[in-house]
Chain A
Amino acid sequence: MTAVAILCAEILGILGAGLAVRLLVRRLGVTVESPAAFAAGVLVVLALLGVAGLADATRDTAKAVRDGASLSPLQRDTAGAEYVTSSLRRLGVTRAVRPIDGVPTWIRFCEWLRTHLPHGARVEVLLSARAERAQARFWLNYRLLPRIAVGRSKADWVVTFDRAPSVSDARQFRPGFTMARRR
Chain B
Amino acid sequence: MSGVVAALAVQLLGLICGLGILVLAGIVPTKAGSLLAGAGLAYLVGWATILVVQSFAAVIGLAVDLVVPVVVATALMLGAFVRGSAAEEERRGRSSRLSKLASLAMAAAGILIAANILTSGFLPVSAFDAWAQWIPKAEVLRGEGLEASTLWTNPVYVYVNQDYPLGLPILHALQLDAAGGDVTAVHVAPWAFLAAFTSAVLFLLRCRPLWAVAPAVLCFVVAPTVQLQTRTVLGELPLAVMIATGVLLLVLWLDERRPAVLGLGALLLAGAASLKSEGAGAGLIALIAAGIVSWVEGPASARKSALVAAVAVAATLVPWRVWMAHHDVHGRVVLENGLDPGHLADQIGRVQPMLESFFAALARPGENLMLPAAALVLIVLTVCFMRERRSRALLYLGVMVGHAAVVLWANWTSEEPIGTYLPESGRYLLPVTALAAVAVADLGSRFWSAQSASPVRAATMENR
Contacts and interface: CB of A to CB of B under 8 A. Distances in A.
B377 A42 contact: yes
A50 B215 contact: yes
A44 B440 CA distance: 12
Interface stretch (B244-252, B274-282, B343-351, B361-369): B361-369
A30 interface: yes
Contacts of A80: 124-128, 130-131
Contact of A3 (B124, B183, B362, B443): B362
Contacts of B214: 47
Contacts of B132: 138-139, 142
Sorting the interface of chain A by its residue count into under 10, 10 to 19, 20 to 34 or 35 or more gives 35 or more
Contacts of B218: 46-47, 50-51, 53-54
Which of A7, A40, A47, A149 gathers the greatest number of chain B CB atoms within 10 Å? A7
Nearest to A149: B156
B4 interface: no
B32 interface: no
Interface string A25-57: 000001111111011101111110111011011
B119 interface: yes
B381 A31 contact: no
Kindly name the residue among B123, B143, B359, B373 whose own CB sees the greatest number of chain A CB atoms within 10 A. Answer: B373
A88 interface: no
A36 B386 CA distance: 10
Nearest to B115: A61
Instruction: Specify the main secondary structure of chain A where it touches its partner.
Output: helix
A92 interface: no
A1 to B, nearest CB: 9
B112 to A, nearest CB: 7
Contact of A56 (B130, B222, B459): B222
Interface stretch (A64-72, A95-103, A173-181): A64-72
B124 A79 contact: yes
A145 interface: yes
Contact of B159 (A68, A138, A145): A138
Interface string B228-242: 000100000000000
B356 to A, nearest CB: 7
Interface in B111-156: 112, 115-116, 119, 122-128, 130-132, 135-136, 139-140, 143-144, 150-151, 154-156
Nearest to A138: B132
A7 B362 contact: yes
Contact of B460 (A7, A30, A75): A30
B132 to A, nearest CB: 5
B154 A150 contact: yes
A83 interface: yes
A31 B452 CA distance: 11
A65 B459 contact: no
B374 interface: yes
Contacts of B454: 33
A128 interface: no
A129 to B, nearest CB: 17
A144 to B, nearest CB: 10
A6 B364 contact: yes
Contacts of A6: 363-365
Contacts of A146: 139-140, 143-144
A82 B456 CA distance: 63
B376 interface: yes
B365 A145 contact: no
Contact of B112 (A10, A30, A58, A83): A58
Given A14-B377, A39-B448, A138-B159, A79 B122 contact: no
B150 A54 contact: no
Nearest to B187: A68
Contacts of A50: 215, 218-219, 222, 369
A31 B88 CA distance: 36
A45 B371 CA distance: 10
B370 interface: yes
B224 interface: yes
A143 B143 CA distance: 14
A120 to B, nearest CB: 7
B211 A57 contact: no
Contacts of A38: 377, 381
A71 B457 CA distance: 59
Contact of B156 (A46, A53, A150): A150
B370 A65 contact: no
B447 interface: yes
A46 B219 contact: yes
Contacts of A79: 124-126
B449 to A, nearest CB: 10
A74 to B, nearest CB: 11
B369 A53 contact: yes
A18 to B, nearest CB: 8
B159 A64 contact: no
Interface of B: 112, 115-116, 119, 122-128, 130-132, 135-136, 139-140, 143-144, 150-151, 154-157, 159, 183-184, 211-212, 214-216, 218-219, 221-224, 227, 231, 356, 359-360, 362-365, 369-374, 376-378, 381, 384-386, 440, 443-444, 447-448, 450-451, 454, 456-457, 459-460
Given A3-B360, A15-B377, 5 more contacts: A3-B359, A30-B460, A39-B444, A50-B219, A137-B156
5 contacts: A6-B364, A6-B365, A31-B460, A36-B448, A149-B157
Sorted nearest first, the 5 A-B pairs with minimum C-beta distance are A79-B124, A68-B122, A50-B218, A53-B222, A3-B359
